[in-house]
Amino acid sequence: ILNVEQSPQSLHVQEGDSTNFTCSFPSSNFYALHWYRWETAKSPEALFVMTLNGDEKKKGRISATLNTKEGYSYLYIKGSQPEDSATYLCASRGSGGSNYKLTFGKGTLLTVNP
Amino acid sequence: KAGVTQTPRYLIKTRGQQVTLSCSPISGHRSVSWYQQTPGQGLQFLFEYFSETQRNKGNFPGRFSGRQFSNSRSEMNVSTLELGDSALYLCASSLLILDTDTQYFGPGTRLTVL
């Protein structure tokens, strides 16, 4: 995988549902994986930064896991609420040279219906 | 603490003109990165500055340039504007004490090229 890829592209869930999205990134020369939440008309807001294989981070109802060997990360939202509606972006940073820049996926647009 | 500010917020230019966008980072942050967001694309990395030096550059033509001042404020310039340069331009700042430091995004400048 040369780019950062996110799936699904969009997702509609009902309030109270739990959901998860996937971020795939280049596993070679990996340095760090970032997750952001981007609400309409606002700035992207940082959720997590993860570096170690097997890392798990949690913030309220949102959690994320990281597998650096196979190059993927999952973001989980438990009991989705309408205020969780946003685009969720992941970004991978490689180690050294041109790989060092933060490369973003196209995001997963989550809509939570009340 | 004030967040990242970007000016102007909206801009309309015509093809062939040039434009300068400004970004003021969070106080104490020494790293500023610039990104371009176009419909259907993820955030595309333009460049990153740290202590007035360009640390990394994305795959954009030479018409895109930037600089950082001693107070960490940054400007981005696009010369000879093309229709395809219409986009949301975001800047992000970070402390960059550690390479895993979170980037904090500004509200963006919406550039429309007619």
pLDDT digits (tens, 9 = 90+) for B71-107: 999 999 999 999 999 999 999 999 876 666 789 999 9
**Pairwise CA distance, residues B69 & B75, whole Å:** 8
| Residue B98 confidence (pLDDT) | 66
Contacts of A51 in chain B (CB under 8 A): 100
CA distance A19 to A75: 8
| Whether A31 and B48 lie within 8 Å, measured CB to CB | no
**Predicted pLDDT at B109:** 97
C-beta of residue A24 within 8 angstroms of C-beta of residue A5: yes
| Beta-strand relationship, A108-113 and A10-14 | parallel
Residue for token digits 């294989």?
A53
Q: How confident is the model at residue A99 (pLDDT cuts 50, 70, 90)?
A: low
Q: Are strands A5-7 and A56-59 parallel, antiparallel or unpaired?
A: unpaired
Look at residue B65 and tell me whether its pLDDT is greater than 90. yes
> Model confidence over B36-59: pLDDT tens digits?
999 878 899 999 999 999 988 999
Report CA-CA distances (Å) from B29 to A73, A111, B1, B95. 28, 34, 12, 4
Supply φ then ψ for residue B29, to 5 degrees.
-80, 135
Which residue of A36, A51, A98 is in closest CB contact with B100?
A51
Per-residue pLDDT tens digits for B20-29? 999 999 999 9
Tell me if B99 and A93 make a contact (CB, 8 A cut-off): yes
Residue in this structure with the two tokens 């997750």, named with its chain if needed: A35
Q: Which residues of chain B are within 8 Å of residue A32 when distances are taken between CB atoms? A: 99-100
3-state SS class at A83: helix
Which structure tokens are listed for B63?
Answer: 């018409």
- Per CB-CB distance under 8 Å, the chain B contacts of A49 are 100-102
Q: What is the pLDDT of residue A94?
A: 83
**8 Å CB contact of A98 and B43:** no
pLDDT for residue A100:
72
Q: For A56-80, write each residue's pLDDT tens digit.
A: 999 999 999 999 999 999 999 999 9
Q: How many helices (H) and strands (E) does chain A have?
A: 0, 11
How many angstroms separate the CA of residue B16 from the nearest CA in chain A? Answer: 29
Report pLDDT for A83: 95
Q: How does DSSP assign A63-96, residue by residue?
A: EEEEETTTTEEEEEESS--GGG-EEEEEEEEESS
